[in-house]
A and B are shown apart, each in its own frame.
Chain A
Amino acid sequence: MANHSTSSHSRYLQHHFVDAEQQFDAAKMGMWVFLVTEILFFGGLFAAYIVYRLWYPELFVMASEELNTLWGGVNTVVLIGSSLTVAMAIKSAQLNQKRNIAINLGITLALAAIFMVIKYFEWTHKFHLGIFPGEFYAYEGIDHPKANVFFSLYYLMTGLHGLHVIIGIGLMIWLLVRSVKGHFDSEYYTPVEITGLYWHLVDIIWIFLFPLFYLID
């Protein structure tokens, strides 16, 4: 089997690829195909949201008042910051700045954790009020018979998004460990690149969730 790569990282080159470049492009394209399925996965919930908002526009205005715009906004800023640090980690790898890869991944991890802590307090505050999804809804504060529908959508969409953030935290820990071990440099950083794509998509989903739930008037 011909080995076209002369770098020390040929240990990461699998034999069925012509060279490291082809392996990188294939991995990246595979990630994009996965992201397409992710967009359509969330897309079903966005479609449900659009249908119900057009049926009950007044409900969405009333129920949105229960959500805290400040914390939603803070979480938006937190996720934008984490997208920036992921992009910085990839740039650091491309420039062979191995220490900066780990630093940027560490900041990303911390920001993702902050996002989930804020999410935790938002959810538990609602549980405390009796705001549960679907038939478990037990809050008297919103004068609308379908108030539970809004919160079913809220918990499903922010919950699925939060699950993606948790999976992202797991991936960031894995990348951080590997970067500390010195696995990534300008010749090989495919896992950082494709995890970055995933993380940016999670950011994009939140960019839409924020105005759709917190900013209704």
Chain B
Amino acid sequence: MSGHHISTDKTLLGVAGGLLVLTVLTVVVHYLHLPDPWSIIVAMGIATFKAMLVALFFMNLYWDKRFNLMLFGTSIVFLALLVGLTLLDTLFRVDVLPSF
């Protein structure tokens, strides 16, 4: 199986190091207590970037067949549909949960 991409130690350790730095960063930003919408936006931005690092370099999507990347992308699209369509209901209710 000579066709498979073999990651170097440098790449793997670099990605893990990046993930550790971003973990520390997200905790530091938490203690800065940013004004309201920015706290969650920054936290989710960092988490998404970390997830991308794992998916691209640990799960090898960067070098892999594009079909697997498409599968992964499809799940994100359908997740966005699920959340988006749900919020179209729940964000615009007068009574959030009647009799609850």
Contacts and interface: CB of A to CB of B under 8 A. Distances in A.
Interface string A180-212: 000000110000000011001101100110111
B50 A207 contact: yes
B76 to A, nearest CB: 7
Of B6, B58, B78, most A-chain CB atoms within 10 Å: B58
A32 B83 CA distance: 22
Contacts of B78: 40, 43
B27 interface: yes
Interface in A45-65: 46-47, 50-51, 54-55
Size range of the interface on B? 35 or more
B74 to A, nearest CB: 6
Interface in A27-44: 28-29, 32-33, 35-36, 39-40, 43-44
A98 to B, nearest CB: 16
B67 A84 contact: no
Q: Is the interface of B mostly helix, strand, loop or mixed?
A: helix
Contacts of A43: 75, 78-79, 82-83
Contacts of A217: 30, 33, 39
Nearest to B4: A94
Contacts of A86: 58
B61 to A, nearest CB: 9
20 contacts: A25-B65, A33-B71, A35-B75, A36-B72, A39-B75, A43-B75, A43-B78, A43-B82, A46-B79, A51-B86, A77-B23, A83-B16, A84-B58, A91-B6, A94-B1, A95-B6, A204-B55, A215-B43, A217-B30, A217-B33
Interface of B: 1, 3-4, 6-7, 9, 12-13, 15-16, 19-20, 23, 26-27, 30, 33, 39-40, 43-44, 46-47, 50-51, 54-55, 58-59, 64-65, 67-68, 71-72, 74-76, 78-79, 82-83, 86-87, 90-91, 96
Given A24-B1, A47-B82, A94-B1, 15 more contacts: A33-B71, A35-B75, A39-B76, A50-B86, A51-B86, A69-B30, A86-B58, A91-B6, A186-B1, A187-B1, A203-B58, A210-B47, A215-B27, A216-B39, A216-B40
Interface of A: 20-21, 24-25, 28-29, 32-33, 35-36, 39-40, 43-44, 46-47, 50-51, 54-55, 69, 73, 76-77, 80-81, 83-84, 86-88, 91, 94-95, 186-187, 196-197, 200-201, 203-204, 207-208, 210-212, 215-217
